[in-house]
Amino acid sequence: MNRRDMMKLAATQTAMVALPAVIVAPSARAESKYAPSTLKNAQFELTVTPGTGLQCKLVHVPTGKILADAYSYSGGSPVFSEAKKDGASIVLQGKTDLGLEIVHRFTVDPESSWIEEQITFTNTGSAPLDLHNARSGFVLPLQLERGKVEDGWAQHKLIAIPFRREPNGHRLQYADFSLDQILTGPYSSELWTMNTSVTPGFAAEGWVWTDGKQGVLVSKFSPGGLEFAVLDRVALPQNKVGFRWGGIGIYRGNPEHGAWLKPGESHKFGVTRVTAFSGDWMQGYYTFRGEMEKRGQGVPDGFNPPVHWNELYDNKLWWLPGDEQNNPAMRKEYYTLASMKEEAAKAKAIGCEALYQDPGWDTSFASKVWDEERLGSYKAFTTMLKTDYGLKSSLHTPLSGWCDPSSYPQDAHRLDRFGERAMWDRSSGFQDPVLCGASQQYLNVTLERLRALCQGGAAFFMFDGTMYHEECWDPNHGHQVPSRLEEHCQATCRLARMVHAEFPEVLIEMHDPALGGAPMRGCPIYYGYGKCPEGEEVCQALGFDTVWAFELMWKPMEDLTSGRSIALYYYNLAYSLPLYIHIDLRTDNQNALVFWWNASTNRHLGIGGTHPDPAVRQAQKEGMANYRRLKPYFAVGGFYGIDEQTHVHADRQGKTAVMNCFNLDNHAIEKEIRFEPAKLGLTSGKNYQFVGAAFSRSSDAYVGKVSIPALGHTLVEVT
């Protein structure tokens, strides 16, 4: 939250009834006139007793571990009436003195290994409710002596999903936290801001909670709102501290629609799911991935995106100072039909399948109107690419957050709360955009322009420039007044669905809808993917196809050796939802290390830039030939990790695989690898052969030594 946001929030809070900012301990157990209710499956037993506050006990059945022995609501103890059974659910309804009504649903599927909860808030009072400090969750009371928890919990860790390693963090930074750390310290992260930010709560899309042998996955799924799974603590009597987890938590002001409620307004928070699993943190990651795939958050069957050649890296236009790449004279000099044919020839020579055009192809930056005066008609251009070079056409199509707005109507500009229309100062460049990305005026014009490109033969759009900037108060824009981050993100994702409603075959990449192109992430990865969420039924088409790989495109060798790109490894353990990247091959080496790392960690690959060393160019060309031959493994195969530098891609039938073995050290190594088919997406009990290294069978595993050059890569095929 920046200074302006803080000032806005401070101004609104004076007119609202606010929940206390202090953390409130769950009330002591008291006699209740209501009988306890129980939900149970093979993994969990949950007992809840309504009354003043909620008495709650959650047990992991196989181990007998008590995971929670209380439930906490910020703002005091709501009074709950009798629990009602609704099939496999228990529904409780309660109310606080402030007029906040709480409907709390717990659900267990007897045939599954999970238990879920979902909470709805309603303001039944006469004054708005400020809920920016709202927090609820299960509470595990723990004895804390000298900053250490009791022995039975000392080995337990909580690992963030999917960013165990953050793309903007330090190479030694891992989001692995002991209970000691969560109970006694703040959460430092580089995920939401360019600088380190510190918060009292620990937030992620999910958390693996394990002692290395048994564990539970705690995840939040909220496709209609920006929510995260939050961990924190509550003070308890008798020298104890409560580890609070699950439930809901307003984090960094989100979800906005749950952060304050006007009289009569309701907000249903996303589902928190607790899933039991056996094993270490990696099994927890795979459990999360499997659950997300069942929710439709995975790579689709037949996914076969074209490998891109990005002309940007060799194009002098982009590298001009300032915003000169938007200068019509510079575009006319450096971005011509002849220069694009040269880039298409490079794409064909190395084996790419599409020419990706970054800034320069349109009439002005981000107008999304093909410049026919310089380049001829778009239809003729795409026909030429296909006929002469065997290539598809892919385009950079940035949105409202990063653009030259001069080609858009002024009624699509933001209106501030004083009724003043935002006007663009050309001298400020693209860093102070004025368009309202949630306005119907902006969306209609943008859709019309994207439609024309689709009709002309476009195969791919990159939705760059998605970042949110300012609220808008225009009542004629078709959004809530004022519209803020939530409306902006929803509209950005809706635009992808609007395109797909007419052109489902056109691939769309989505930058973070809140932060745009950056090594950060403000929205959950799944936000905007797949089917539209409840309340967004305007368009029933599916959302975007690929996720931007956190801006790791400019210095990919440095990103890899520094450890930043290791974030892509952990992402793939947690998600099969495809990542997209394009990388600068000029930073690569004779082992094509940069090429292979990004081929291994991004299901949609883009490359560009001509390396000055012929030996490096040859290694990249040979790498591309092998990649194209094995592309289905990388595009749709199952990703498994032996370690950060050893990746396995198994085919969907579980019969064959490829293994990428990396060495990020400055000296050659011979690495011993234990390959266990059953843990790597392959059928157990079969005989496997290895090409590229010698492996021998040892019981239900194969053990081999792989030679890998310094800053190098070795490819092993498993049949």
Determine how many CB atoms are found less than 10 A away from the CB of residue 115: 25
Say whether pLDDT at 154 is over 70.
yes
Taking only the tens place, the pLDDT of each residue in 420-471 is 999 998 887 787 889 999 999 999 999 999 999 999 999 999 999 999 999 9
- Asked if residues 508 and 463 have their Cβ atoms less than 8 Å apart, the reply is yes
Query: At which residue do the structure tokens 């950079």 appear?
Result: 396
pLDDT band at 30 (very low <50, low <70, confident <90, very high): low
- Asked if residues 111 and 117 have their Cβ atoms less than 8 Å apart, the reply is no
Return d(Cα 268, Cα 587) in angstroms, integer. 48
Query: At which residue do the structure tokens 């929803």 appear?
Result: 490
Residues 6+ positions from 63 with CB-CB distance below 8 Å: 214
Taking only the tens place, the pLDDT of each residue in 293-349 is 999 999 999 999 999 999 999 999 999 998 899 999 999 999 999 999 999 999 999
Domain boundary (242, 265, 290) is at 290
Return d(Cα 575, Cα 22) in angstroms, integer. 36
Q: Is residue 655 part of a domain?
A: yes
Bigger pLDDT: 306 vs 145 = 306
Q: Is residue 388 part of a domain?
A: no
Say whether pLDDT at 4 is over 80.
no
Average pLDDT over residues 480-488: 95
Task: Tell me the one-letter amino acid at 641.
Answer: G
Angle at CA 485, nearest 5°, toward 528 and 189?
85
Does 165 share its domain with 65?
yes
- Asked if residues 668 and 709 have their Cβ atoms less than 8 Å apart, the reply is yes
Supply the CATH number for residue 67's domain: 2.70.98
Q: Is residue 425 part of a domain?
A: yes
Domain boundary (273, 290, 307) is at 290
Looking at the chain, how many residues does it have?
Answer: 719
Does 541 share its domain with 655?
no
Taking only the tens place, the pLDDT of each residue in 51-109 is 999 999 999 999 999 999 999 998 678 999 888 988 899 999 999 988 999 999 999 98
Lowest model confidence (mean pLDDT) among 13-27, 370-384, 501-515, 686-700: 13-27
Does 157 share its domain with 44?
yes
- For 355, the enclosing helix (H) or strand (E) is strand 354-357
Q: Is residue 614 part of a domain?
A: no
Return d(Cα 245, Cα 272) in angstroms, integer. 10
- Asked if residues 611 and 586 have their Cβ atoms less than 8 Å apart, the reply is yes
Structural tokens at position 391:
């290539």
Say whether pLDDT at 559 is over 50.
yes
Does 541 share its domain with 676?
no
Domain count, the chain: 3
Tell me how far CA of residue 375 lies from CA of 96, 344, 369, 380, 446, in angstroms: 65, 14, 12, 9, 21
Does 539 share its domain with 660?
no
Domain boundary (501, 516, 548) is at 548
The predicted pLDDT at position 28 comes to 54
Average pLDDT over residues 107-127: 94
- Asked if residues 654 and 611 have their Cβ atoms less than 8 Å apart, the reply is no
Taking only the tens place, the pLDDT of each residue in 397-432 is 999 999 999 999 999 999 999 999 999 988 877 878
Boundaries of domain holding 711: 633-718
Q: Is residue 469 part of a domain?
A: yes
Q: Is residue 319 part of a domain?
A: no
SS (H, E, C) 281-293: HHHHHHHHHHHHH
